[in-house]
Amino acid sequence: MRKVNIILVFNKEEDKILMCKRKKDPFKGKLNFVGGKVEPNEDELHAAYRELEEETGITKDDITLTNLMNFEYKISGTELEAYAGKLNKDVRLKEELNSLYWISKDEDFNNLNKFAGEGNILHMLKQVEIFKDKLF
């Protein structure tokens, strides 16, 4: 099974979420969380930190990530690992491929014309809200 990850990054004040605008499919042109591929035999948490740093410049010193949930897509043979964390300081973002944006957490994440994930983004954000005391 192929593994990929996405990372929900909150700013220090927890009022904004970091998103990227996808330049390729799936979800080309839509906003999504940052993330990428887990290499074969790579530790999943290590992969999340590696992808986060590659795509944004945010390092392990800037944030503590916690595995929020995993989605298993059996037909496509893909496991999606979702991590969440809150920045512990202000950071300067470094874009790799996709443009990066801070989006208000009050945004309508159910807008499927704007956001990727077929509604999963809203679901994950609700889970963060429920378990915030265990995550941050």
The amino acid occupying position 124 is: M
Per domain, the residue ranges of the chain are: 2-135
Per-residue pLDDT reduced to its tens digit, 68-119: 999 999 999 999 999 999 999 999 999 988 999 999 999 999 999 999 999 9
Classify domain 2-135 by CATH number.
Answer: 3.90.79.10
Is-above-0.85 flag for pTM?
A: yes
Where is 8: in which H helix or E strand? strand 2-10
Burial class (CB in 10 A: 0-12, 13-18, 19+), 79: middle
Per-residue pLDDT reduced to its tens digit, 12-50: 999 999 999 999 888 999 999 999 999 999 999 999 999
- pLDDT > 90? residue 62: yes
Q: Which of 29, 42, 31 has the alpha carbon at shortest distance from 2?
A: 42
With tokens 């990066």, the residue in question is: 100
Instruction: Please give the structure tokens belonging to residue 101.
Output: 């944006």
